[in-house]
Structure 1
């Protein structure tokens, strides 16, 4: 699977992407609303889990088309309830605010709903992460729940295939 947007290449995560993912997970700013920078052993286990995850769990390596630079990770994977699929994303800070996340997420949402044929997707972010909340609303998701998880208030967003 490889998809192209105006500025980005979206491809399935591969073993050779480990160092880029490690740098992403080790970035203090990226991990500010994600529980902080995890230990190396967690990053390794998490990466292995991504590579071995059963279908339709999908982990996507995002790079710039023009330079091939790694900019982020987007996934559609099993949500906490084990029945729903969650859209998740992490982008390196130097690429924030440039429209790349919006461009990539709209493409990945299309992939999830129309190729993976999922009836809907959810996304969860800390309510304190205002930029992430705005991004989810911009891609068409609607807030359906506010809850506490991981010691912080979280907003749960949803986007259904037909509205």
Structure 2
């Protein structure tokens, strides 16, 4: 478990499925992530996360004082297969208040210093300017762009210093 000033970040559990489904069914959250998923795809994805390999990590983010569900954050193999990718999805209610910055920074630090990864990546649509700004704010650098999932994607990276 990780703790920030306002958040608790703990491993995904089966009891989180109802909350996590809210992420995959939210039109705003899924705008740059391929759209809302159907129930059977959500169930399959959640099962896969719960039974993931040793090099995949899935956490839920909760508000520290109220235990309200904020979102999901993960480290798992990137599409290209060379490095782990940090991904995050927060419910819109929590956007714009620094929660993503708090939790993503903690997981970047964990990945680079505890897991001793030489590099982690993040991929987001170039159209998702808020996500691009967040990654840059946290020290990630644009490595390249590519076309994937029918849109231009920005691949960011950060290395151990």
Range into which the TM-score falls when normalised by the shorter chain: over 0.9
Partner of 1:137: 136
Q: TM-score, normalised by structure 1?
A: 0.97
Partner of 1:37: 36
Partner of 2:118: 119
* 1:27 match: secondary structure: coil
Partner of 1:95: 94
Partner of 1:161: 160
Q: TM-score, normalised by structure 2?
A: 0.98
Q: Does 1:81 align with 2:119?
A: no
Separation in 2, partners of 1:114, 1:10: 17
Separation in 2, partners of 1:83, 1:157: 14
**Structure 1: any 5+ residue segments left out of the alignment?**
none
- State the Cα RMSD in Å: 0.7
Partner of 2:71: 72
Q: Does 1:52 align with 2:60?
A: no
Separation in 2, partners of 1:62, 1:132: 17
Kept after mapping to 2: 8 A contact 1:87/1:122: yes
Q: Deviations over 1:4-31 (max 9, x none)?
A: 0000001000010000110111000000
* 2:136 match: secondary structure: helix
Separation in 2, partners of 1:119, 1:11: 24
Separation in 2, partners of 1:133, 1:114: 23
* 1:24 match: secondary structure: helix
Aligned pairs, number: 161
Partner of 1:128: 127
